[in-house]
Amino acid sequence: MRATANNGSYRDRRSMKHVLDNVHGYIYLEPLFLQFIDTEQFQRLRDLKQLGLTHMVYPGAAHSRFEHSLGVYWLAGEAVNKINFYQGQELGIEEFDRNTVKLAGLLHDIGHGPFSHMFEREFLPRVLDGYDWSHEDMSLKMIDYIVDKHCIDIDSAILKTAKEMILASSEHGPQKSMTEKRFLYDIVANGRTEIDVDKFDYIVRDSRACGIGSGFQFERLMETMRVMDDEICYRANEYLTLHKLFATRADLHRTVYTHPKVKAIELMVVDALCYANADLGIAASIQKPSEFWKLDDSILKWIETSDSDSPSLKEAKNLIQRIRKRDLYQYCNQFSVPKDKLENFKDITPQDIICSQVQNKSGGVTLKEEDVAVSTVKIDLTRGRMNPLERINFFKDYDSSEKFQIPDDRISHLLPRFFQDRIVRVYAKKPELVGAVAEAFENYQVKTYGCKAQVHATPDKKKARKQLEYQNQNDRQ
C-alpha cells in the first residue's frame, strides 16, 4: 500500500486521495494538503471561474480556480521531485522543501476575487480610489484565517515560507527567510525569470478549455531544468521552447483574455458592481477574510435577484439583464499605440473621446461621458517592453558548469524585436451611438497622432444596423 516517491521516501496511499485531472491525469492529495482542501474557503474556488467572464464568448472556458490550484500543486511537487531526482544529493532537498513548495502551489490563488483579475484591476480602483490591494496579499490573509478557523496542525516554518513563495513574484514581496535554496522560490511564482509552474498549468489548461491549439510543452522544461548557483537554468537548445512559453501566453491574452467582446462584458459587469457596491458592501468584504470568502462569481445572481428598490441596484440589474440578452456595449474600433509613443503613453478616458466630437458631423448627437467606455489592453511577454529571455541563464550540457545568457540573434532572425502592445478600444454604451462614438474616436486619433492609427474605419453597415435595431426596439415598445 506504499508508494516510493522520487526522493526515496515512502507515502502511504491509504491516507491519500486521488483525482483525475483532465490536464495532468491522476493527482494525489496528501493529508497535510487535504486539511486545506477540505475547507469551505478552499472549496469556494469551485465558484470562481479561472477566466472570469471569458466563458460568455468561449463557452468551454468554464473551468475554475479549484482545478487550476490542484494543477499548480501537482506541478510544484513534480518540479521538486525532478530536481531532487537529478540533484538531490548535491542540493540537499528535504521533505520540508517539498511540502513548502506544494503548499504554495495549492494556495497561491486562495485570495482571488470574482471574475479573475477584473475584480482587483478594474472594480476596486473605481470604488476605492488609491487603495492598494492584490490577490496575493489577500491569499496570505486567507491562509492565516483558514489555519486559525479550522485549527490546522502545521509547522509554522512551512507556513511562513509558503507564504513568502506566494509573494515571490510580487514587487512588494517580503525578504526571503531562506539564505540558501533560493531556487525553490522560483517554482510557483518566479520573480526572477517569470518561468513557473503557475504558467505551465494555466497556459495548457486555458488553451484546451477554449479549443485553441498550443505548441508549448512544459514537460520538456521540467525534464531538462537544472539548478546552478541557486538558480533554475535551462539547456541552451530549449531557448525556443521558452520563447514559445511567452509567445503562447501573449497569444492567449490577445485572442482570449482580452477579446473585444469579453472586454465589453467586463466593462458592463464593472459598472454593475459599482452601482451595487454601496447597497451590498462588495468592496468592504476585502477587509475581513471572514467576509471575503463568501464572495464569488454568484454575485451577479445575488444582484439580479435582490428585492431592494434601491435606484442604484435597479441600474445594476438593468446592466445584468442586458448582458443576459446579449445587448452589450458596442465595440466601435481600436488602435495600437505607436511604438514611439508607448513610453509616455497615458490612459485615454471617455472625456478625451467626447472632447474630440465634431458636432456638425455627428447627426445632432451630443455625446456625454457616460455614453462612452474605453478599454486599454496591455499585451507583453511578461516584462513590458523588455525581452524576458534576457534574464534567463542557460547551460550547454550536463557536463558543463558554466551558465550564460543567449542573445536573440544567435538563435534566429525571425524572433521579435519589440515586446509590448498597447491597444486602445472604444465602446458605445448605447447601440444608437456607435456612429457618433466612432467618429469622435477617429477625431481623437488625428488630433493626438496626426493620423488615424486604427486599421480601418468602423463599417457603415454596423453603424446603420445598430441604429435600425434601436429604432425597431423603440417601435415594439
Give me the catalytic one of 24, 135, 243, 259: 135
Helix (H, G, I), strand (E, B) or coil at 135: helix
Among 117, 122, 124, 76, which residue's Cα sits nearest to residue 100? 76
Which 8-state DSSP code applies to residue 64? Answer: B
Residues 6+ apart with CB under 8 A from 222: 75, 78, 79, 82, 200
Phi then psi dihedrals of residue 21, to 5 deg: -95, 140
Q: How far apart are CA 166 and CA 161, in angstroms?
A: 9
- The DSSP H or E segment spanning 232 is strand 231-235
For residue 449, the Cα-to-chain-centroid distance in whole angstroms is 31
Helix (H, G, I), strand (E, B) or coil at 226: strand
135 is annotated as an active-site residue: yes
Q: How far apart are CA 9 and CA 392, in angstroms?
A: 32
- 17 beta partners: 29
End-to-end CA distance of the chain: 70
Secondary-structure breakdown of the chain: helix, strand, coil percentages, each rounded to the nearest 5: 55, 10, 35
Write the DSSP string, 69-107.
Answer: HHHHHHHHHHHHHHHHHHHHHHHT--HHHHHHHHHHHHH
CB 107 within 8 A of CB 69: yes
CB 235 within 8 A of CB 394: yes
Q: How far apart are CA 226 and CA 207, in angstroms?
A: 27
CB 334 within 8 A of CB 422: no
**Whole-Å CA distances, 467 to 252, 429, 435, 472:** 33, 13, 9, 9
Kindly tell me the burial class for residue 451, based on how many C-beta atoms sit within 10 Å of its own C-beta (0-12, 13-18, 19 or more): exposed
Q: How many CB atoms lie within 10 A of CB 82?
A: 17
Phi then psi dihedrals of residue 419, to 5 deg: -130, 15
Task: Read off the C-alpha cell for 60.
Answer: 468551454
CB 221 within 8 A of CB 195: yes
Dihedral sign, Cα of residue 117, residue 385, residue 190, residue 75? positive
Find the farthest-apart pair of alpha carbons in the chain and give their distance in angstroms, rounded: 81
Catalytically active residues, by annotation: 135
